[in-house]
Structure 1
Amino acid sequence: MPADPTAPGRRAPAPGVVPGAGPGPGRPACRAEVRYLLGRLLPFLVIALATVADVLTPPQERFDRFLIAAPALAAATWSARGTAAIGGLAMAASAALAAARGDSLLPAALANQVVLAVVALAAAVSSHVRQRREAELRQVSAVAEAAQGALLRPLPPRLGTVDLRLLYEASAAGAHVGGDFYKALKVRDGVRIMLGDVQGKGLPAVEAASLLLGSFREAAYTAPDLPAIAQRLEASMARYAERAPESDAADRFSTVLLAEVPDDRPVIRLLSCGHPAPVVQRDGAVETVELTAPSVPVHLPVPVDAPFTVEEVPFGPGDRLLMFTDGVTETRDARGAFYPLEQRLAAWADEPADRIPGLLREDLDRFGAHGLEDDTTALLLVRDGSGGTVPRLPSPPRAVAV
């Protein structure tokens, strides 16, 4: 979530975790599978331990009372029929132990069986309810995947003279889309890219992101330059706020970074609307691009009359530029220190571009005191290093106010 620039004291700011670039880490999924397997085995372990303990201890020590836990535990992982069967197994074990002790059928043994039967029935009903909810969640997950495909389609590995490598992960557990958004399009004379972050989280943030993505898709092909695209984004949000003022999405502002890579010049043009500056790697050196006059975030509820400034930065064959949201740079360790992005990218200067998103995802997860708490997006642009049509002599950086 982008920091509110109006608040005092705030700093300005294929499938898987890396869409189109490789799968995410497998350790959490592996741990979940182990926990699920243990949950499946636990009811049988309770029956076995209770039975052995009851046999090996004096008759007055009644460990068969613990058998009641078996069907209750089974409801968490087994089907309704499986839970009922485990309840029946517990009842059979209880009856066998009562017979071994020579207990009379009435009243204790029968009462114990009745209690076990009631618990097993209740556990089976609970299991059935759980299965229905899991089926509903699977349907919701399928809808979320469809929404991701429509809203945030995987980027192609290459557009024009630029290779693209993406890391995208929503902060909400199990979520497929969040407040971060991205898009890259091949236009007539180059490639135009947008990466942004909507204020807040949840469905209103996703709705605002969808509005900005739709506006960019239309403007990227026809707008003469990046300031014209930024104006279209602002106008789209303003129209939506007028049309649906009651919507939570109408009150959200967004930080946006627009980029344009011309096919025939070794430069990249950047326009920031309150978004963190990207990091460029050139000839082994890594540095943050200096944005001399970033604009305010899109749809910020503050009257501002200032021109959009486009920064033109050298971006020749073999150069890399990383665009990212604040979910990357504002990740903190246990001591409160921010993630050292430049230092990490310098250490990975010799790594293939395909590996950078995965390395960044794993390193952020290790570095963060509580893992990734915010939507996290990073888009690595790599200029074609084959020598093709892009000249190698870089142009000096310049800023143009429009």
Structure 2
Amino acid sequence: MNKSFDLIVVGGGAAGIMSAITSARDGKSVLLLEKLPKIAAKLKATGGGRCNLTNTLSNEEFMAKFGRDGRFMQDALGEFDHRALKQFFKDIGVETHAPDGFRIFPTSHSSSTIISALENELHNLHVEVSCLQKVQKLIHVENKIVGVKTSSDTFSAPKVIVATGGLGYPTLGAQGDGYDMARELGHKTTELYPAMMPLKTKDEWVKNCRADTIAKVELRVDLKKHNKLRATGDLIFTNNGIRGPVVLDFAREITPLLSKYGELPILANLTKGMNEEQLNQHLKKEAESNPHAEILKYICALLPEPLSLELLHLADIDPKGTYGKISGSSKAKLINILAWTPLTISGHDGFKMAMITRGGINLKEINPKTMQSRLIYGLYFCGEVMNLDGPCGGYNLQWSFASGHLAGLLKK
């Protein structure tokens, strides 16, 4: 083999960079391999370039957002929670803040600030960063890791950290390399689904409502078996579907179901949480104060006009009609549609539009106290390559940094 190191990190994203820095600070010789021309390509695009690093939730609340597997993060967060992450960046010259009291950003609101500071720290710690190096194979002898083989070289190390990310954003290098490497060594991966992306709808009327962002929308699956799946946030209609923060979060739950059912009925509360009774009272009040006005005006008090028109059409009500002349059954239908607007999710654009991957290396085969493989000694995993993903709001980046830090400690 060629040059030897104490540790080789495969993947130059947030998790890989953090693991390299953590080990180098402990005096280890570290080689960081990245197949793209530069490290941190996906980090650069995070949060629309603003880099939402983490959030202010307690560790318990944070883990709960990841669902039933969230407890896997307990040790990693215990070592490196959002407070430790803020201090880490402060120590390398990056100030952070939480302008909304929840999401934490660099005060510059630029991912370039984060990347520059991380690159400087890697340089100061003498981490050898080698780009345009695609790892083809993890080399092991019996059940111990001994190095890696790239397209051009072979490097030896008793410890290797796989931080290759998932399949989301293939334009930024995601190809699922880490899954293949892990499988070759006997690890299992769960089903892989694209997550955090826009969704397509069967309903063509959405294209007429593209001008406005609808705030505080609640989405839920309209199937009895899955009706507990819900998400809340801002929604934007598109030419062929829906997008926005609530859709990004909801897509994590939707894509596995779409794979199962083909299409999926959902319900959207577009009226900031108003229920049927509150909507009924709103319409009555409007009718009492202005009985001769077109009913469109009543709905426009709640929603933008293009959306108001479409919902009236769904209820088979003439927008120019007056409330008093509408039948009781039509009023009931309108109220139901205003409370829970039906939509049918018909598809998505796959991993090319996915910010993250749902699924990954089976968590049962990884020690949560160390991030070391339970199958191969000296092999560690961190970040998105594992079967753990969270919603929008700094969750996935915090997990990448925390798991990268724990892996980089190289605990046995």
| Alignment TM class, shorter chain as reference | under 0.3
**Bigger RCO (CA 8 Å, 6+ sep):** 2
**Scaled by the length of structure 2, what TM-score is found?**
0.21
